[in-house]
Amino acid sequence: MEKISLPLQPPEVSLPVVIAGAFVHGKENYITLGAFGIMSLQPPIVYISSMKSHYSNEGIRENGFFSVNVPPADLVQQADYCGLVSGRDVDKSKIFTTFYGSERLAPMIEECPVNFVCKVIRIVDLPYNEVFIGEIVEYYASKECLDNDKPDPEKIDPMVLAGPSYRCLGPLAGVAFGEGRAYRARLKGH
């Protein structure tokens, strides 16, 4: 494949869409983010990145907790709206049904099939963004999205942000670790 050098700008690659929840000045607030990732499986550590000017950041810094909610594709309008408007100007707590974990640490969205409560363990200050690194302290999934007691990606129907578009998962490409084992076996056979 021929490679072409592109201008240095935010890369237009597929990024998971999540809605972060936080208490800001004692009230539930949500923000849609395309900058989320898992940093460690044991202990479970995730990050979210948000522009410094975002209203939710105040609450995350103040309370030390945030939630990560994975919206299904049928919430694309609400998720997009949450990323367009600021909690300073609009009460975003009314867009979704809020629920809480064992303690009221961070608001979560009932309509989202997967939810995490995260305790902030570090904040990384970048020129324009703050990266909140959090340890998952509670994990929830909608019962109807489980298969053999594990979240089923097809039932969750998560979205990714691909350039200017939201996309859904495509067909199964392969089985994790099984494809690599098959490739290794093929290499040994040569």
Report the CATH superfamily, name and number, of domain 14-188: Electron Transport, Fmn-binding Protein; Chain A (2.30.110.10)
At 163 the pLDDT is 80
Assign 162 a pLDDT band (cuts: 50, 70, 90): confident
Is pLDDT at 169 greater than 90 in this prediction? Answer: no
pTM greater than 0.85 (yes/no): yes
Is pLDDT at 10 greater than 70 in this prediction? Answer: no
pLDDT > 70 fraction of the chain, expressed in percent and rounded: 95
Is pLDDT at 14 greater than 90 in this prediction? Answer: no
pLDDT in tens, 33-62: 988 999 999 999 999 999 999 999 999 999
CB count in 10 Å sphere of residue 76 = 14
Domain ranges for the chain: 14-188
E strand residue ranges, the chain: 14-16, 18-24, 27-33, 36-41, 44-51, 65-70, 98-99, 108-109, 114-125, 129-141, 146-147, 150-151, 159-162, 165-168
The SS3 assignment for 188 reads helix
Between 44-53, 75-84, 125-134, 159-168, the lowest mean confidence (pLDDT) is in 159-168
